[in-house]
Amino acid sequence: MLDLNLIKTNPQKVHDALMKKGWDVDFEPLLKKMDKRLELIQEVESRKAEANRLSKSVPQVKKEGGDVQQIFIKVKELAKDNEKAEAELKKLEDEINEFVLALPNMPDDDLLGGEKENNKVISTFNKKPEFGFKIKDHVQLCESLGLIDYERAAKISGRGTWIYKGLGAQLEWAILNFFIQEHLKDGYTFILPPHLLNYESGLTAGQFPKFENDVFWLKDQEPKKFLLPTAETALVNLHRNEILSEDELPKKYFSYTPCYRMEAGSYRTEERGMIRGYQFNKVEMVQYTKEDESDKAFEELLHKAESLMQKLGLHYQVSKLAAGDCSHSMARTYDIEVWIPSMGIYKEVSSVSNGRDYQARRGMIRYRDKETKKTKYCHTLNASGLATSRLFPAIIEQYQQEDGSVVIPEVLRPFMGGISIIHPIKK
RNA sequence: GGAGAAAUACCCAAGUGGUUGAAGGGGAUGGUCUUGAAAACCAUUAGAGGGUGCAAGCCCUGCUAGAGUUCGAAUCUCUAUUUCUCCGCCA
């Protein structure tokens, strides 16, 4: 959530920042409501103060005196006068909230405005692999190697799903285990969260209200629950409504969960296979930091995500996203994109983002400053580390051999019982 | 799924509808004593959100959350959430 005070004191600045994300917001009606709100608060509270004062003046021993009756009548009048104003105030505050909760985070000053076309590749790692033979795509390879069963997945579930099978399942599990081991080495705390979350969690993370239709909702559950679209949603809510001590920060977490997404209407033929599905596996990192340490944490997360790619020996690039392509809740996002040879393009395997205080304001996630003893909002950051659904195809394709076999990256072999190469199944 | 009980501050806990924003412990912090520590003793230790003011301060809200009754609610009523106990069902 954006700082209401900032909107009040410098609406132009907020407007211009959101403009870079393609949001042309007119703050005039909001500012009017905020002024009206203050007016009403003063009116209501002075009546309450008067009523409290009168009530206190009633003697504790009950007497049927005339004065007392007068007070009863007067206090009742005050309460009645307040009814309408309080209802109006409540409505106004709801409207203000609704409006502000829908707004995206402000992008950092250094970001270019606009959408994807203004994303900037800031680094690449490894050379594009050259193949001296006609390459196969991952769908063909997974089929011939017996790693993925798309047909039976369609049978038991539906489109947009797949089954990891045999060595395919082992490879997927090896990748996840490799990530987990790396994060543990770096001192991150491993969290296995519930996959069903309540509305408040989605609101704090910033998924709601904007993306309410993009997640899977459970039918007939009260209170309503949805399947997490990313572990970030769970991790960033761990300390909702808490005041942390400064010494605890930064807090560093990671989770493995499947991610459940509607991906409504986004299916394209180029995204066949496991490039885009309703459910994919991801290891996610989240940090809570002090307000002046989130830039440092951002560098750390980016470095960690990159180091996983480097250890896997994959060719990838890092893109600094333009404001309009950053996540809704985020002030800055860098994507790590892996080369998919058959598609001839780079696909996102990790988004590294700094949310600054946007999520913390929504979820009242704070810490106490040691010197001033005042509470401040934490900064929250998240980074995939990593999502496997693009990584698995990338490994299969980048490591494919002329005979149709696939070499297993060395770092994964210990997690696969030492298997170093997967051969096509003989028919 | 059914039946009951509970929710008070960092923790434990008292609490009668009216100076209760809340007794009492513990813990923490500071001090006295001590060569140092422990013990003992003394002191401090209620946060949070909002309004107003240059400020000191004052005002509103606040005892899980939301409604209600009342001149007045931690205290009475209703609803939700969570926890515990018992019963049933079940991997």
Q: Say whether the CB atom of A48 is under 7 angstroms from strand B.
A: yes
Nucleic strand B near CB of residue A52 (< 7 Å): yes
A422: Cα within 13 Å, side-chain hemisphere: 27
Distance A50 CA to B6 C1' (A): 37
Does a structural domain hold residue A111? no
Q: What total number of domains does chain A contain?
A: 2
**Residue A427 lies inside a defined structural domain of this protein:** no
Predicted confidence at residue A75, as pLDDT, reads 82
Determine the pLDDT at residue A367. 86
Closest CA to B81 C1' — which residue? A223
Q: Are both A120 and A89 inside the same structural domain?
A: no
* A339 in Cβ contact with A394 (< 8 Å): yes
A121 contacts A319 by C-beta, under 8 angstroms? yes
Sort strands A251-260 and A189-191 into parallel, antiparallel or unpaired.
Answer: parallel
Q: Provide, in whole angstroms, the distance separating residue A327's CA from nucleotide B75's C1'.
A: 49
Residues 321-380 of A with CB under 7 A from strand B: 366, 368, 373-375
Q: Is residue A8 part of a domain?
A: no
pLDDT at A374: 78
Residues A63 and A130 grouped into a single domain: no
Q: Is the CB of A223 under 7 A from strand B?
A: yes
Taking each helix axis from N to C terminus, what angle separates A167-185 and A138-145, rounded to the nearest 10 degrees? 110
Nucleotide nearest to A54 (CA to C1'): B71
Query: Which of A102, A127, A149 marks a domain boundary?
Result: A102
pLDDT attached to residue A296:
97
Q: Does residue A78 share a domain with residue A128?
A: no
Rg for chain A (alpha carbons), in Å? 27
**B chain positions with any atom within 7 Å of a protein CB:** 18, 47-52, 59-61, 71-72, 80-81
**Nearest nt by C1' to A41 Cα:** B51
Cβ contact A76 with chain B strand, < 7 A:
yes
Question: Are residues A96 and A122 both part of a single domain?
Answer: no
**Model pTM score:** 0.90
Q: Is residue A18 part of a domain?
A: no
**What size, in residues, is chain A?**
427
**Which residues of chain A register pLDDT less than 70?**
59-67, 264-271, 427
A45 touches strand B (CB under 7 A): yes
Has residue A13 been placed in a domain?
no
* Nucleotide closest to A51 measured between CA and C1': B71
Nearest nt to the CA of A52 via C1' is B72
Inside any domain, residue A290: yes
Asked whether A146 and A168 are in contact (CB, 8 A), the reply is yes
pLDDT of residue A65: 53
Residue at which a domain ends, from A77, A102, A127 = A102
CA of A291 to C1' of B62 (A): 28
pLDDT value of position A66: 55
The two structure tokens encoding residue A191:
């969290």
Instruction: Please check whether residues A133 and A211 belong to one and the same domain.
Output: yes
Q: How far is CA A198 from the centre of its chain?
A: 15
Cα–Cα distances in Å, from A221 out to A145, A211, A224? 42, 19, 5
Q: Is the CB of A71 under 7 A from strand B?
A: yes
Domain check: are A285 and A416 in the same one? yes
Same domain? A44 vs A122: no
Whether A87 sits with its Cβ under 7 A from any strand B atom: the answer reads: no
- Residue A86 CA and nucleotide B60 C1' are separated, in Å, by 13
Strand B contact with A60 (CB < 7 A): yes
Distance A245 CA to B11 C1' (A): 17
Residue numbers of the domain that contains A39: 26-102
| Structure-token pair, residue A141 | 């390879």
- The structure tokens 């028919």 sit at A427
Residues 6+ apart with CB under 8 A from A124: A315, A316, A317, A318
pLDDT at A297: 97
- The CATH number of the domain where A331 resides is what? 3.30.930.10
pLDDT, tens only, A163-201: 999 999 999 999 999 999 999 999 999 999 999 898 889
Query: Is the same domain home to A313 and A408?
Result: yes
Among candidate residues A102, A137, A160, the one where a domain is terminated:
A102
A303 and A221 share one domain? yes
Is there a domain that residue A381 lies in? yes
Are the C-beta atoms of residues A338 and A349 closer than 8 Å to each other?
Answer: yes
